[in-house]
């Protein structure tokens, strides 16, 4: 390699109290005789965004753990997108330090990232209480399979329990990639289906009877579907009568 030129760059470092600190660096550029391209000197203390040092990027990431990106941007006089990028670099560095986990009990859920039914999968290691994977493009079996491909066959074979809702693609992907794992449906979805089934019975009984019995059933939806501790004494006294119809 031969010398090409040098360029002065100003990068932001950790502040001292309320005073911002900037470093002026001379960054060399050299000719690479092997590939014929001009390459810039690599400085290991700079973050992926070369306008900031790694320790400043680490500080931004740590602050984002306790405050919103908007608040951190206002505090450090940075653009929102800059803080977001530095926070992502911080999280990637943390994931590299931890390495690929080997969970035995996982929880599968989804979150909406924008309007229009746009979802992403979230998989957590339940025994550690930590999210370990975020991805997928939709609610398909293929998106769920991306998690098991990332985890690998050996670690997927160690999963003994998968907690999820009743969405079929989740079950199919788990049965294909981790057939040894037991599948447990979370209680919230089970209770929701039980509530819907109970209300269907109430509606059918309402259609079957008439007169005073119909008027009684019409007003008992809350009595049947609410938690017992949320019912008044008046509604609790109606439960034995409701059970005669169900």
Architecture category of domain 105-185 in CATH: 2-Layer Sandwich (3.30)
pLDDT digits 0-9 by tens, 24-67: 988 877 777 777 777 777 788 888 888 899 999 999 999 999 99
Q: How confident is the model at residue 243 (pLDDT cuts 50, 70, 90)?
A: low
Q: Which long-range contacts link 123-128 to residues 24+ away (Cβ below 8 Å)?
A: 123/147, 125/101, 126/163, 127/103, 128/101, 128/103
- The pLDDT of residue 3 is above 60: no
| Band of residue 236 on the pLDDT scale cut at 50, 70, 90 | low
What is the C-alpha separation between 240 and 243, in angstroms, rounded? Answer: 5
8-state DSSP, 180: T
Q: How far apart are alpha carbons 206 and 228 in whole angstroms?
A: 22
User: Of 42, 47, 44, nearest to 28 (Cα)?
Assistant: 42
pLDDT at residue 201 tops 70: yes
Q: What is the mean pLDDT of residues 107-131?
A: 82
Is 0.75 surpassed by the pTM of this model? no
Polymer length of the chain:
246
Pairing of the two strands 105-114 and 161-164? parallel
């Amino acid at each position: 390699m031969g010398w090409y030129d040098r360029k002065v760059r100003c990068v932001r470092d950790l502040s001292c109290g309320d005073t911002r600190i900037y470093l002026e660096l001379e960054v060399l550029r050299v000719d690479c005789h092997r590939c014929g391209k001009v390459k810039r000197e690599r400085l290991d203390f700079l973050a992926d965004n070369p306008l900031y040092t790694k320790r400043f990027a680490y500080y931004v990431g740590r602050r984002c753990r306790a405050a919103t990106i908007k608040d951190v941007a206002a505090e450090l006089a940075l653009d929102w997108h800059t803080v977001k990028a530095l926070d992502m670099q911080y999280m990637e560095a943390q994931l590299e330090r931890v390495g690929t986990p080997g969970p035995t009990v996982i929880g599968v859920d989804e979150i909406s990232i924008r309007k229009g039914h746009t979802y992403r999968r979230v998989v957590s290691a339940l025994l550690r209480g930590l999210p370990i994977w975020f991805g997928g493009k939709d609610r398909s079996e293929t998106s769920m399979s991306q998690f098991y491909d990332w985890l690998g066959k050996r670690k997927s074979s160690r999963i003994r329990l998968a907690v999820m809702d009743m969405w079929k693609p989740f079950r199919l992907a788990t049965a294909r990639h981790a057939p040894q794992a037991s599948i447990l449906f979370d209680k919230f979805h089970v209770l929701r289906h039980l509530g819907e089934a109970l209300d269907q019975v109430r509606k059918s009984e309402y259609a079957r009877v008439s007169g005073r019995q119909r008027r009684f059933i019409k007003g008992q939806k809350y009595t049947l579907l609410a938690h017992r501790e949320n019912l008044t004494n008046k509604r609790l006294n109606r439960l034995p009568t409701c059970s005669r119809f169900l």
